[in-house]
């Protein structure tokens, strides 16, 4: 089964309270671009992610707001700013690294929430059934081209009727595979 492979660049998810601290009371995110996952979007708003060594400016906030603030970086990003971030599924932030976020109206210090997103495939139930996989299965995906073909191992399947089928990898992984746009699940 061929699937869409998308590069998920560094980004931040924020709570409503943190959004107001960063941008001002009553502030709402504004949509810059809809993403492949239904209801998800890249906003026009940007923040600076500050680590112990340096900072990353102009990091996109993805909307809508969430119940916990989370920062998703590539391993290269995290190391460059001095953060030791664990590889985790989105939302699994307990005991992860912290950082400071700086916006135009204020700053937020998060004690945990910085992760390197585990490579994953969002799937509809119908597509998961067609591929013979289930939620939380671990698969391999062959992708790449132009002399950069490789197999991604340890890819988690995430199934929901709220999803559109697409694999997400970070910029380090995408660069290693030559910026793939499709892949095939192998078991």
Six-digit token pair at 167? 């694999």
pLDDT digit of tens for each residue in the chain (187 aa)? 899 999 999 999 999 999 999 999 999 999 999 999 999 999 999 999 999 999 999 999 999 999 999 999 999 999 999 999 999 999 999 999 999 999 999 999 999 999 999 999 999 999 999 999 999 999 999 998 778 899 999 999 999 999 999 999 999 999 999 888 999 999 7
pTM for the whole thing?
Answer: 0.94
């Amino acid at each position: 089964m061929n699937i869409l492979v998308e590069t998920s660049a560094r980004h931040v998810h924020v709570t409503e309270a943190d959004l107001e601290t960063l941008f001002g009371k009553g502030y709402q995110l504004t949509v810059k671009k809809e993403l492949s996952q239904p209801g998800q979007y890249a906003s026009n708003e940007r923040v600076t992610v500050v680590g112990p060594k340096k900072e990353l400016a102009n990091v996109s906030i993805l909307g809508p707001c969430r119940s916990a603030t989370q920062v998703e970086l590539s391993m290269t990003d995290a190391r460059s700013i001095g953060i030791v971030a664990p590889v985790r599924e989105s939302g699994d932030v307990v005991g992860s690294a912290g950082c400071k976020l700086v916006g135009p109206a204020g700053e937020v210090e998060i004690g945990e929430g910085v992760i390197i997103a585990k490579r994953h495939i969002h799937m509809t139930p119908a597509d998961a059934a067609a591929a013979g996989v289930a939620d939380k299965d671990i698969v391999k995906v062959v992708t790449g081209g132009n002399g950069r073909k490789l197999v991604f191992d340890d890819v988690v399947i995430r199934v929901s009727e709220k999803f559109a089928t697409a694999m997400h990898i970070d910029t380090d992984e995408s660069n290693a595979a030559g910026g793939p746009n499709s892949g095939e699940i192998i078991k």
